Amino acid sequence: MKKLFEFYIYNHIHVGLSAVSLYMLYSLLTGQIPDSHYAVFLFSATVSYYTFLRLIHRNTLRFPLAKWYHDHYRLSLTVWILSTLTGFYLFSQFGRPLMTRLIIVGIPAILYNLRANGKKIYSLRKIGLVKIFLISFVWAAMVVWVPFSTKISSFTLLAILTWHAFFFVLLWTLPFDIRDLALDQTSLKTLPQIFKEKIKYIALLIWGVFSGLNVFLLQFEIETKLVWAFILAASVLLWMTFRSEKYRDNYFFTAFWAESVPIFTLLLVWVVQYLN
């Protein structure tokens, strides 16, 4: 059971499900029917991207990640190959407009950790402050802008939803950045590195902006319970940020519990809808 759980976490199946769950939540929020092909593509692309990063960085990972990838390199490589092939196949089935949007979002994601022969040839990570915003931008684009830009007629609503996802993911990344505070290069200039012990106030500010965007969403006849579900999820992330310092040495506090927030939020919404 432990080996199965480690396979699930270390090969980023969990984060893939989190990405799909976030996409599903925004589908519900916008009243759109989720596209199963896009959902599978999003899952495959997420698993492929994050597993690839682990594989190329495996010699610099901390324990127990380093040992796991050393012992299970072929297994992780197989997961990466299968997820990548699935992602490319589904990508080839999309129409040109969707392909174009995916390429636009994919380029900065690739440049974020570009390497050649194990050495960085150019990486957006070299630019201070980029890590803070690039991850949030890519995730927000993948769960809102890419799938819904041609389905939502209101530009204002699309913009609010994109910023809504951006600030949600920005808050979501804080427990991870706090966990990696001792490992990240100072040149990355993550929020915890910049604000140190004041990061809790920054997290509270992000939570406040995110909650304010939810108020704007109510002007577009969006179900109130869905808005409250997002506020609840953001509140859980805020609490986890406050507790991250205590659990910095517990890898699964972030790798499982923090990553689970979109999954549990989606399950909660489904249960409430079923009961109603």
Q: What is the pLDDT of residues 65-95, one digit of tens each?
A: 778 888 889 999 999 999 999 999 999 999 9
Domain count, the chain: 1
| Model pLDDT for residues 109-155, shown as the tens digit of each residue | 888 776 544 554 556 666 767 777 889 999 999 999 999 999 998 99
CATH of the domain at 115: 1.10.600
Q: What is the pTM of this model?
A: 0.92
Average pLDDT along the chain:
88
DSSP 185: -
More confident residue, 45 or 3: 45
Which residues span the domain enclosing 172?
2-275
Long-range Cβ contact pairs of 71-79 (< 8 A, separation 24 or more): 72/7, 72/10, 75/7, 75/11, 76/10, 76/11, 76/51, 79/11, 79/47, 79/51
Give the pLDDT confidence of 152-168 residue by residue, as tens digits. 989 999 999 999 999 99
Handedness of CA 169, 173, 174, 175 (dihedral sign): positive
pLDDT in tens, 233-275: 999 999 999 988 777 777 778 888 999 999 999 999 999 888 8
Residue 125 is predicted with a pLDDT of 66
